[in-house]
Amino acid sequence: MLPNHFHGENPTSLARNNCNVCSESLRFTHSIAYFYLTFNSIRTICRAYMHNDIPMVAFIVFAYFSYFIVDHCLTVFNRLPSDEESPKKELLKVTIWSLTSAIMFGFAYQFSTFMGPTVVFLMYGIAIVSSAILFYAHFIYDAQRGYKAFCSVKSIKILQFPAPADRDVDPDIKTLEEV
The domain locations on the chain are 9-52, 54-152
Task: Quickly state the pLDDT bin for 174 (edges 50, 70, 90).
Answer: low
Highest mean pLDDT of the ranges 19-28, 42-51, 137-146, 165-174: 42-51
47, 49, 101, 117, 150 from 132: Cα distances, Å:
33, 34, 9, 22, 16
Kind plus residue range of the DSSP H or E element containing 65: helix 54-79
Question: What's the whole-model pTM score?
Answer: 0.62
Q: What's residue 51's pLDDT?
A: 93
Q: In this model, does residue 147 exceed pLDDT 50?
A: no
